[in-house]
Amino acid sequence: MEEPRITEDLIRRNSEHNDCVIFSLEELSLHQQEIERLEHIDKWCRDLKILYLQNNLIGKIENVSKLKKLEYLNLALNNIEKIENLEGCEGLTKLDLTVNFIGELSSVKTLGHNIHLKELFLMGNPCADFDGYRQFVVATLQQLKWLDGKEIERSERIQALQNFPVIEQQIREQEEAYCLKRAKDKEEAQRKLREEDENEAKERRHSVFEGQSPFSVEHKDHVQEGQEGEYNQKRFKDNEDDLEFWNKPSLFTPESRLETLRHMEKQRKDQEKLSGKKKKVKPPRILITEDGKVLNVNDPKLDFSLKDDEKRNQIILDLAVYRYMDTSLIDVDVQPTYVRVMVKGKPFQLVLPAEVKPDSSSAKRSQTTGHLVICMPKVDEVITGWRQTSESGTSPSDSSREHTNQRTPPALRTPPVTGSLSSFLTEDPGGAS
């Protein structure tokens, strides 16, 4: 299974409150993303003040030391076993490490460099069960005001400092015992992992020997009546294995959390194979119908405005593309009767109210808003001919008025049109919108 990573795209998708701009982000939430490694954030989001990373699978605190402005870091419900690499977070005032796997309680000493730290949460960690846990933390971190949601009284700190030599010795002994137990748990987890890998390899070899994977859709589709019982038996066995996994006793360790995630992902993939589910292929977008009708399309869901600049005899389209979008992701195509803009592969197409000159059209980005502005000169207006004859009885002044009235056909006098997602309907009879 591919390990979920912290990517630039993931951060942008979670920074809509900041117009998807990441370098100036002050608050970022990446909780419940199955992230296993903390990376890149200190390079891309230097101005962060609040960072939510709870309920992931992060095993180590790292790559946050350059976040000088960080005030609140939430790493609850992760796989962290040691407090480290937070010295550079000079502005840190609140740290939440609830329900992790921190057994090395002496690692809280590294937080002594965070002089502004006022609140710390360590409940739910193995170290919180140590005798003398609270007194050790209170005496070690004298800048703390709250520990596990409980205020630290002045008398409590004085007593903790007086008993510190004895408490420190107790904590050291309990740490050593925990580390020995933890080493055995890791060794057992690695042994189980090796066994599972060997069993999977045997199953693959057996499938190759049989000539066809028992999970393949083709096998299911071509299974004969005499083999249906065998196929159903395979499904039943998989269900039994799943029940066995969930019913067997398991230690609460970082390895067991990862094992659960891997098992759920494997079950999902196997279920898809067994049921023959395939991703539905989206039909191609219809932009022009078979009878040549050009459709209005707004797949990028962008606001826009279209106006007829009669003074310069041109039509202007203002398309509200994202301010920080790379221009290389935008492709413009102007045709005599319509304009099409591909934004990150999604089509925006608009039928024009008058015929334009594609070769003379121009497109540029606004330096203030980032909008795409397309100027499209209209085709020269056709002037209807007139003749002045003595028999007609028409005076020159009347002819002049007639000429003026015939110069601009009413169809070209188009009022400004504005559109948005709510008012911009796709004229697609095939229902492809």
pLDDT reported for residue 315: 93
CATH at 371: 2.60.40.790
pLDDT reported for residue 366: 85
* Whether residue 301 sits in one domain with residue 168: no
**Measured distance CA(140)–CA(106) in Å, rounded:** 9
* Whether residue 169 sits in one domain with residue 304: no
**Measured distance CA(160)–CA(410) in Å, rounded:** 90
Of 409, 408, 275, 285, nearest to 348 (Cα)? 285
Question: What's the token pair of residue 147?
Answer: 């520990």
Of the residues 128, 149, 177, which one is the last residue of a structural domain? 177
SS (H, E, C) the chain: CCCCCCCHHHHHHCCHHHCCCCCCCCEEECCCCCCCCCCCHHHHCCCCCEEECCCCCCCCCCCCCCCCCCCEEECCCCCCCCCCCCCCCCCCCEEECCCCCCCCHHHHHHHHHCCCCCEEECCCCHHHHCCCHHHHHHHHCCCCCEECCEECCHHHHHHHHHCHHHHHHHHHHHHHHHHHHHHHHHHHHHHHHHHHHHHHHHHHHHHHHHCCCCCCHHHHHCCCHHHHHHHHHHHHHHHHHHHHHHHCCCCCCHHHHHHHHHHHHHHHHHHHHHHCCCCCCCCCCCCECCCCCECCEECCCCCEEEEEECCCCEEEEEECCCCCCCHHHEEEEECCCEEEEEECCEEEEEECCCCECHHHCEEEECCCCCCEEEEEEECCCCCCCCCCCCCCCCCHHHHHHHHHHHHCCHHHCCCCEEECCCCCCCCCCCCCC
Question: What's the token pair of residue 264?
Answer: 């759920």
Give a yes or no: residue 312 inside a domain.
Answer: yes
pLDDT reported for residue 325: 79
* Whether residue 301 sits in one domain with residue 173: no
CATH at 118: 3.80.10.10
Give a yes or no: residue 228 inside a domain.
Answer: no
Give a yes or no: residue 194 inside a domain.
Answer: no
Task: Give, in degrees to the nearest 5, the angle at Cα 250 between 244 and 255.
Answer: 110
Backbone angles phi, psi at 401, to 5 degrees: -65, -40
pLDDT reported for residue 418: 41
**Measured distance CA(188)–CA(229) in Å, rounded:** 37
pLDDT reported for residue 383: 41
Give a yes or no: residue 341 inside a domain.
Answer: yes
**Measured distance CA(34)–CA(6) in Å, rounded:** 10
* Whether residue 173 sits in one domain with residue 34: yes
Of the residues 143, 177, 211, which one is the last residue of a structural domain? 177
Of 323, 325, 328, 352, nearest to 340 (Cα)? 352
**Measured distance CA(135)–CA(157) in Å, rounded:** 8
* Whether residue 169 sits in one domain with residue 21: yes
pLDDT reported for residue 279: 56
pLDDT reported for residue 234: 56
Question: What's the token pair of residue 180?
Answer: 């020995």
Give a yes or no: residue 199 inside a domain.
Answer: no
**Measured distance CA(298)–CA(300) in Å, rounded:** 6
The single residue listed with the structure tokens 């990573």 is 5
**Measured distance CA(25)–CA(48) in Å, rounded:** 6
Query: Which residues form the domain of 330?
Result: 297-385+398-419
Backbone angles phi, psi at 84, to 5 degrees: -160, 165
- 407: alpha, beta or left, given left = phi > 0 and alpha = psi -120 to 50? alpha
How many Cα atoms are found within 13 Å in the side-chain-facing hemisphere of 318? Answer: 15
Give a yes or no: residue 209 inside a domain.
Answer: no
Of the residues 130, 157, 177, which one is the last residue of a structural domain? 177
Give a yes or no: residue 213 inside a domain.
Answer: no
Say which amino acid occupies 257. Answer: R
Tell the burial category of 212 from Cβ atoms under 10 Å away from its Cβ (0-12, 13-18, 19+).
exposed
pLDDT reported for residue 235: 58
The structural domain count of the chain equals 2
Q: What is the mean pLDDT of each run of 10 residues along the chain (433 residues)?
A: 76 80 88 89 91 93 93 95 94 95 94 95 94 96 95 95 94 93 85 76 63 47 50 58 56 74 72 62 81 90 90 91 83 93 92 92 87 91 42 40 40 39 38 36
Give a yes or no: residue 73 inside a domain.
Answer: yes
Question: What's the token pair of residue 334?
Answer: 């102007």
CA distances from 308 to 145, 295, 418 (A): 65, 20, 11
pLDDT reported for residue 391: 39
